[in-house]
């Protein structure tokens, strides 16, 4: 496994629509290993492949709760999203130091493939549900700063520019 560099807000790859994985092979499993290592080193709870500059549909998640084991999901699809919404504070390893309150579906179901290419279905609420939606957004070139009011986005943009 190897530590990869995390792409930051402003990087073009974060805005791209990531490609589907066609075959779950050792190359993909190596990528997943690297993603876990990079996520843990950065003390994150989720990471999407575009965040390490790889425009492929892979996410890894570890929300550190007792029931959900860490998992990787390949070609994840949101198959259910509750009509009830929930607000919660969010950050992103690609936008370190900034957070915002983001409204998302309170409960979601996501389907994809695991690292062996087997179907995997994850249902989540709370932090897990939020994390799944946040990471899938990354695969579509969407960042949490896109999901707040224009006023708030301006504020976040200003703070980010000051920091860089
Ligand atoms: Ni993120």
Query: What would the pLDDT profile of 50-94 be if each residue is shown by its tens digit?
Result: 999 999 999 999 998 888 899 999 999 999 999 999 999 999 999
Exactly one of 20, 66, 86, 135 is catalytic; name it.
135
Ligand 1 center to 145 CA (angstroms): 10
Ligand 1 center to 62 CA (angstroms): 13
pTM, two decimals, is 0.97
pLDDT in tens, 105-146: 999 999 999 999 999 999 999 999 999 999 999 999 999 999
- Superfamily of domain covering 12-163: Peptide deformylase (3.90.45.10)
Ligand 1 center to 24 CA (angstroms): 23
Ligand 1 center to 144 CA (angstroms): 7
Query: 142-149 contacts: CB < 8 A, separation 24 or more?
Result: 143/9, 143/14, 143/92, 143/94, 143/95, 144/90, 144/91, 144/92, 144/95, 144/100, 144/102, 145/9, 145/95, 145/98, 145/100, 147/102, 147/103, 147/104, 148/100, 148/101, 148/102
Ligand 1 center to 86 CA (angstroms): 18
Which residues, by Cβ under 5 Å, contact ligand 1, an ion?
Answer: 92
> Does residue 22 have an active-site annotation?
no
């Amino acid at each position: 496994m190897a530590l990869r560099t995390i792409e930051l807000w402003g990087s073009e790859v974060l805005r791209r629509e990531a490609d589907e994985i066609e075959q779950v092979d050792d190359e993909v499993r190596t990528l997943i290993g690297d993603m876990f290592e990079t996520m843990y080193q950065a003390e994150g709870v989720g990471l999407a492949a575009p965040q390490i500059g790889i425009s492929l549909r892979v996410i890894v998640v570890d929300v550190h709760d007792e029931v959900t084991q860490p998992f990787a999901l390949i070609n994840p699809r949101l198959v259910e999203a509750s009509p009830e919404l929930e607000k919660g504070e969010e950050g992103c390893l690609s936008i370190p130091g900034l957070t915002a309150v983001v409204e998302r579906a309170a409960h979601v179901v996501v389907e994809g493939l695991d690292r062996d290419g087997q179907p995997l279905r994850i249902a989540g609420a709370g932090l897990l549900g939020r994390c799944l939606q946040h990471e899938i957004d990354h695969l579509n070139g969407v960042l949490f700063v896109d999901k707040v009011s224009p006023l708030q986005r301006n504020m976040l943009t200003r703070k980010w520019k000051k920091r860089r």
